[in-house]
């Protein structure tokens, strides 16, 4: 690391120090550590590492991730050397997230402290476990999207280090679900991205020794709290994914293929030559979906469908309840044709039809008001 400009980000209770330099966050150990890494580069369980790192491999918007060698492992080895680390005594992760957007969160109880250092984004690569795969055997390694370095200031046996990794993953998924982050590959909610990586570190020199890291243990609780908070903060910094960002009905509908573009196409088919221009339609649609009463009704409509897709509600009861919500949405939008609002065979098609009908009716109302004003 000599000769490189470094920024000290955090000094942990373990004595380890996190630095940011050369588009990387490097965690330098101050003593013996147990490390469990999911990275292809020096992954697995180790007790002789001196550091671990996370590097931003992006080259620019729309460009592929940086690569310094034909393979991912060789490329990461070169990165380690550039960072001034012994390549055989470290594990590293590549990411498409920027290090400036990293989140560092610690949670403590008595003498125990857990720290999560997270970078992440799910706007382009968010997926739900079980989504259709993109390859079978091997594929070119992509940059990680949600990368986590989890540091536990306590000693753990190897099996419990693995259990800590499970708890860490559950916490990441819980954070995504609380943000209702969508999968980009199905209609489901994201449980992570397709390229997430995690490195868990335990302090071999700590007098504290734990044999549990699950949800019933205090260690598991601290892991959950630290990782959830750090993941949410990192996603907010990198992608703007926040509760306020998600308070948007059109955004929530995108995972079902209901977008501004598909609604525009449906609108043109219905209205024909008398259609608004596209910019006017989008503006009218956004203004309409901003009606305060519409959003909670809309997310209830969406959640009903999720419950049906998960097998928790039968079709009949789902469609019956959804039709009531459609009528309430029509009332909130003050549609004249409220009684004619009916569920179609296609669940989301029913809501799409309602939104288009609302734009049509509001546009006609605006024209009528302009005509009355001219006559006056």
Over the range 106-118, which residues count as b (16 or more CB within 10 Å of their CB) and which as e?
A: bbeeeebbbbbbb
3 state DSSP class of 353: helix
Instruction: List pLDDT tens digits, range 331-354.
Output: 999 888 766 688 889 999 999 999
CB 201 within 8 A of CB 158: no
Coil, strand or helix at 56: strand
What's the DSSP call for residue 107? E
pLDDT at res. 336: 82
Cβ contact 235:120 at 8 Å: yes
- Residue 368 CA to residue 362 CA, distance in Å, equals 10
- Of 41-50, 129-138, 218-227, the one with minimum mean pLDDT is 129-138
* Domain locations along the chain: 7-239, 249-375
Which pLDDT belongs to residue 320? 96
Bridge partner list, 17: 11, 28
Going by CATH, does the domain composed of 7-239 fall within 3.60.70? Answer: yes
What pLDDT is attached to residue 123?
Answer: 80
Render pLDDT for 28-59 as a digit per residue (tens, 0 to 9): 999 999 999 999 999 999 999 999 999 998 87
SS3 assignment, position 120: coil
The rounded distance, in Å, linking the Cα atoms of 293 and 213 is 43
Q: Mean pLDDT, the chain, as a whole number? A: 90
Q: Tokens 């989008």 correspond to what residue?
A: 282
Q: What is the mean pLDDT of residues 184-211?
A: 94
Phi, psi of 42 (to 5 degrees): 55, 40
Nearest to 249 by CA among 363, 347, 352, 125: 352
pLDDT band for position 70 (cuts 50, 70, 90) = confident
Quick one: pLDDT at residue 372? 46
Mean pLDDT (whole number) for 57-64: 67
Q: Which region among 196-200, 254-258, 368-372 has the lowest average model confidence (pLDDT)? A: 368-372
Give residue-wise pLDDT tens across range 274-320.
Answer: 778 999 999 999 999 999 999 999 999 999 999 999 999 999 999 99
Q: Which of 55-64, 137-146, 188-197 has the lowest mean pLDDT?
A: 137-146
Pairing of strands 90-95, 51-56: parallel
pLDDT at 99 over 70: yes
Q: Specify the pTM.
A: 0.91
Least confident of 23-27, 127-131, 169-173, 351-355: 127-131
């Amino acid at each position: 690391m000599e000769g490189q400009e470094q920024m000290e980000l955090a000094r942990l209770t373990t004595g380890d120090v996190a630095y940011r330099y050369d588009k990387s966050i490097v965690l330098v150990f101050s003593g013996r550590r147990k490390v469990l890494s999911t990275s292809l580069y020096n992954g697995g369980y180790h007790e002789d590492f001196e550091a671990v790192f996370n590097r931003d491999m992006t080259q620019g918007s729309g460009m592929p991730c940086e690569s310094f060698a034909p393979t991912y492992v060789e490329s990461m080895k070169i990165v380690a050397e550039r960072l001034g680390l012994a390549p055989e005594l470290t594990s590293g992760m590549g990411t498409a997230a920027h290090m400036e957007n990293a989140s560092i969160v610690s949670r403590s109880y008595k003498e125990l402290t857990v720290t999560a250092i997270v970078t992440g984004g799910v706007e382009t690569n968010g997926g739900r476990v079980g989504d259709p795969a993109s390859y079978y055997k091997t594929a070119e390694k992509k940059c990680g999207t949600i990368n986590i370095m989890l540091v536990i200031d306590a000693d753990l046996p190897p099996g419990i280090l693995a259990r800590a990794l499970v708890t860490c993953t559950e916490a990441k998924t819980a954070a995504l679900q609380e943000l209702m982050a969508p999968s980009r590959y199905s209609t489901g909610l994201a449980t992570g991205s397709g390229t997430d990586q995690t490195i868990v570190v335990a302090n071999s020199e700590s007098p504290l020794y734990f044999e549990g890291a699950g949800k019933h243990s205090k260690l598991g609780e601290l892991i959950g709290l630290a990782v959830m908070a750090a993941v949410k903060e990192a996603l907010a910094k990198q992608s703007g994914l926040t509760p306020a960002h998600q308070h948007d009905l059109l955004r929530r509908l995108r995972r079902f293929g209901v977008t501004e573009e598909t609604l525009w196409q449906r609108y043109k088919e219905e209205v024909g030559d008398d259609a608004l221009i596209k910019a006017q339609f989008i503006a009218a649609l956004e203004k309409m979906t901003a009606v305060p009463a519409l959003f909670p009704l809309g997310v209830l409509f969406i959640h009903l469908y999720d419950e049906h897709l998960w097998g928790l509600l039968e079709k009949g009861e789902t469609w019956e309840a959804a039709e009531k919500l459609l009528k309430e949405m029509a009332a909130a939008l003050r549609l004249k044709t409220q009684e004619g609002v009916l569920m179609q065979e296609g669940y989301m098609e029913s809501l799409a039809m309602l939104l288009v009908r609302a734009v049509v009716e509001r546009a006609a109302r605006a024209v009528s008001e302009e005509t009355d004003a001219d006559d006056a």
